[in-house]
Amino acid sequence: MLYLAEQSWNGLRGTVLSLRSKRTELCFVGRNVRMRFARNIELGRYTTIGDGAILSGLGLNGLRLGTRVNVGAYSRLIVGTDVARPGSHIHIGDGCGIGEYSSIGGSGGVSIGRNTIIGQYFSAHPENHNFKDLSRPIREQGTTRMAIYIEEDCWLGARVTVLGGVRIGKGSVIAAGSVVTRDVPPYSIVAGVPGRVVGSRRGGDDGGA
């Protein structure tokens, strides 16, 4: 009974919040969820946003969550933070799940394919600080933006970090705690810091490990 009451409140909050966004749909939103630049945010039908999450659509192509996406509590999905230099996009496909306390930046663009599941404390960084000029502080040297693509039906464990310019192929599995710094072929099994292919989900293929 308590669960049904809580879901009813979440549904009401979600419907009210979606009125501010690009498209109005039935979705479920927890307590203390904040949404910035809401007109650039698209929430899919039956999407669930956990307590305390922050969503910001400040970007050229905004923030888009597909149908039945689940965003864990206290996660941050921030397309951009600078009005003078807005980000690109964060697009998350149908049926994806993002674990609690995750952080996804969209400055260079992040696309996550449908039915991908991601553990807690995930982070995606499609922007890197420039640091070659020793005569200037790093914070004054600007950044380089590179898109991240995570294809459909992947599984990324807890505390995985993905850096800019990386494409993770369809059906891949990334072990908890890995830092992915280069492209991953489809159906790979990746582990380590930096992440390397240690196997393949395809029978008889060692994944080049």
Q: Same domain for 109 and 176?
A: yes
Q: Same domain for 31 and 112?
A: no
Residue 97 lies in a domain: no
Task: Report the alpha-carbon distance of residue 1 to residue 173 in Å, rounded.
Answer: 37
Residue 96 lies in a domain: no
pLDDT of 85: 87
Task: Report the alpha-carbon distance of residue 85 to residue 79 in Å, rounded.
Answer: 11
Task: Report the alpha-carbon distance of residue 115 to residue 151 in Å, rounded.
Answer: 9
pLDDT in tens, 50-92: 999 999 999 999 999 999 999 999 999 999 988 888 999 999 9
Domain carrying residue 6: 1-71
Q: Same domain for 63 and 127?
A: no
pLDDT of 83: 87
pLDDT of 25: 74
pLDDT of 64: 95
Q: What is the pTM of this model?
A: 0.89
Q: What are phi and psi of 103, to 5 degrees?
A: -135, 115
Query: Is the bond preceding 194 in cis, omega lying within 30 degrees of 0?
Result: yes
Q: Same domain for 109 and 48?
A: no
pLDDT, greater one: 17 or 34: 34
Residue type at 198 in one-letter notation: V
pLDDT of 33: 94
Q: Same domain for 117 and 203?
A: yes
Residue 98 lies in a domain: no
On the question of pLDDT at 208 being above 50, the answer is no
On the question of pLDDT at 29 being above 80, the answer is yes
Whether 129 is a known active-site residue: answer yes
What share of the chain in percent tops pLDDT 70? 86
pLDDT in tens, 177-201: 999 999 999 999 999 999 999 999 9
Q: Same domain for 131 and 171?
A: yes
- Report residue 126 as tokens: 């499609």
On the question of pLDDT at 46 being above 50, the answer is yes
pLDDT, greater one: 138 or 18: 138
pLDDT, greater one: 83 or 103: 103
Domain count, the chain: 2
Residue 9 lies in a domain: yes
Residue 148 lies in a domain: yes
Residue 133 lies in a domain: yes
Q: What region, left, alpha or beta, does residue 74 occupy, with left being phi > 0 and alpha being psi -120 to 50 degrees?
A: left
Q: Same domain for 55 and 114?
A: no
Q: Which are the contacts of 26, defined by CB distance < 8 A and separation ≥ 6?
A: 11, 14, 15, 45, 46
Q: Which are the contacts of 19, defined by CB distance < 8 A and separation ≥ 6?
A: none
CATH code for position 113: 2.160.10.10
Q: Same domain for 107 and 208?
A: yes
Q: Same domain for 64 and 117?
A: no
- The active-site residue out of 89, 91, 125, 129 is 129
Name the percent of the chain in helix, strand, coil, to the closest 5: 10, 35, 55
Q: Same domain for 47 and 121?
A: no
